[in-house]
Amino acid sequence: MHFTVLGAGTVGVCCALYLQRDGHHVTLVDRGEPASGCSYGNGGIIQIGACVPIATQGVLRQVPKMLLDPEGPLIIRWQYLPRLAPYLMRFIAAARPSRVEAIAKTLASVLGQAIPAYRTLIAAAGAQDLIRETGEMYIYHSDAAFAAARPAHDLRRRNGVRILDVPVEELRQLEPALAPTIKHAVWFPDCIRTTNPALLTRALAEKFVRDGGQIRQETVTDLAVAPDGTLSLATDRGTRAIDRLVVATGAYSKRWTEKLGSFVPLDTERGYHLMLPNPGVELNRPVIVGDHRVGISSMVGGLRIAGTAELARLDAPPNYRRAHRLLAIVKRALPDLNIADPQPWMGHRPSTPDSLPVICQAPRAPKAFLAFGHGHLGLTMGAVTGRLIADLAAGRDAPIDLKPLHVDRFRANRF
């Protein structure tokens, strides 16, 4: 078959590679070069322990405080609130304890396949030099923040995630650059990271082209399904019939899903990063400042500080003050950090209210497949998504239960 994959972010590139491995002809379409969207600037962590959804009772309790705190990890642009209401209602419903348990179980099943799915692609692309097997460290300045995180760590442990308590004396040896005032640390030894997510995705895209794949730089403007199921794609270069389709346009996937006859309450949690080109300190593994949900990682090109979730329109201008506010948080954790010349960036996380991606065949357009909505975990779940889409296209049994990832879970206002 000939697949057209819309979106050359990490998810689209991985879908293209896995479909190509099955012998399909594949064309990737993106308005920019590969990894020019959200996949460009993420924290680079393949977070296989991150099975706790964003919506939990604990998070709901903290929302009022977070919203009033300009340095807080969550902010809503108030003028956007009416449009956001349907998303927020589902977000609140997803925070029910029974839903949180079920979502965590599903996420854990997907995350369990994430690293093996990457190893296949990374080995084939010869991109091992962009990967480090260091695990990920969570640190806490206060007893209160550590105590507040305990239910989430317990949920992760219940789902098979290995989390090791790290005594502070040991932390000092593992990460000498961290402040001696840090009170608690836990280590996720099985996570891996990339030294640059954009370079990784581009290395995978280059492998796709070396193996005969085509990348077309075009902006998709429309999509139509004829009554017999035939698909046609309109771009700034013209309209053409296409054989099979994968929608992997990240936060921009809602419109194309609607064209394929399905509803999805997809929205965007905008996130920011700051790159410090001459940080003067180095971390041996990515560190999450648990008190503020901010990630820090040493990368090719400097030290990256990534975090915050800002609910605002896709086309709202970036508010780089959000990014610059991360500096004070990180300086407290890394006192010797040189904060000169910070380079800010903003990206659109493609977020569903239940923190689960949409990975399925389009129910009302069976020649199309949906692969988006990976929220905070699109790098982590990129390769496994590609594998699952290839399984669906081939009619093979998937290694996990895909029902909870189906787009129709949002149908008819089902919560």
Ligand X SMILES: Cc1cc2nc3c(=O)[nH]c(=O)nc-3n(C[C@H](O)[C@H](O)[C@H](O)COP(=O)(O)OP(=O)(O)OC[C@H]3O[C@@H](n4cnc5c(N)ncnc54)[C@H](O)[C@@H]3O)c2cc1C
Binding site for ligand X (CB under 6 A): 7-12, 29-32, 36-39, 42-45, 47, 219-220, 248-250, 252, 271-273, 306, 347, 349-350, 372, 374-380
Q: Which of 176, 380 has the CB closer to ligand X?
A: 380
Query: Minimum distance between the CB of residue 259 and ligand X, rounded to whole angstroms?
Result: 12
> Is 408:363 a contact under the CB 8 Å cutoff?
yes
Q: Which of 279, 347 has the CB closer to ligand X?
A: 347
Q: Which of 5, 400 has the CB closer to ligand X?
A: 5
> Is 341:102 a contact under the CB 8 Å cutoff?
no
Burial of 82 (0-12, 13-18, 19+ CB in 10 A): exposed
Burial of 168 (0-12, 13-18, 19+ CB in 10 A): middle
Query: Minimum distance between the CB of residue 412 and ligand X, rounded to whole angstroms?
Result: 26
Task: Report how many helices (DSSP H) and strands (DSSP E) the chain contains, helices first.
Answer: 12, 21
| CA 246 to mean position of chain CA atoms | 18
Q: Which of 183, 189 has the CB closer to ligand X?
A: 189
Report the sign of the C-alpha dihedral through residues 345, 347, 353, 358, in that order: negative
- The H or E element that residue 221 is part of is strand 220-225
Q: Which of 194, 262 has the CB closer to ligand X?
A: 194
Q: Which of 178, 233 has the CB closer to ligand X?
A: 233
Q: Which of 116, 180 has the CB closer to ligand X?
A: 116
Q: Which of 279, 286 has the CB closer to ligand X?
A: 286
Integer Cα distance of 310 and 100 in angstroms: 22
Return all residues near 4 (Cβ < 8 A) that are at least 6 apart: 26, 27, 29, 233, 242, 243, 244, 245, 246
Q: Which of 159, 352 has the CB closer to ligand X?
A: 352
> Is 296:330 a contact under the CB 8 Å cutoff?
yes
Q: Which of 168, 316 has the CB closer to ligand X?
A: 316
Q: Which of 326, 334 has the CB closer to ligand X?
A: 326
Query: Minimum distance between the CB of residue 165 and ligand X, rounded to whole angstroms?
Result: 23
Integer Cα distance of 60 and 103 in angstroms: 16
Query: Minimum distance between the CB of residue 33 and ligand X, rounded to whole angstroms?
Result: 8
Query: Minimum distance between the CB of residue 180 and ligand X, rounded to whole angstroms?
Result: 26
> Is 400:113 a contact under the CB 8 Å cutoff?
yes
Cα first-last separation, the chain: 36
Integer Cα distance of 31 and 402 in angstroms: 30
Give which of 186, 189, 188 is closest to 170, Cα–Cα.
Answer: 186
Query: Minimum distance between the CB of residue 133 and ligand X, rounded to whole angstroms?
Result: 15
Query: Minimum distance between the CB of residue 403 and ligand X, rounded to whole angstroms?
Result: 21
Query: Minimum distance between the CB of residue 252 and ligand X, rounded to whole angstroms?
Result: 4
Query: Minimum distance between the CB of residue 142 and ligand X, rounded to whole angstroms?
Result: 23
What order of strands is seen across the sheet that includes strand 192-194?
A: 45-46, 192-194, 131-132
Query: Minimum distance between the CB of residue 269 and ligand X, rounded to whole angstroms?
Result: 8
**Lookup: tokens for 415:** 């919560």
Query: Minimum distance between the CB of residue 306 and ligand X, rounded to whole angstroms?
Result: 4
Give which of 57, 90, 59, 94 is closest to 73, Cα–Cα.
Answer: 59
CA distances (Å), 227 to each of 4, 162, 260, 291, 369, in order? 20, 50, 12, 53, 17
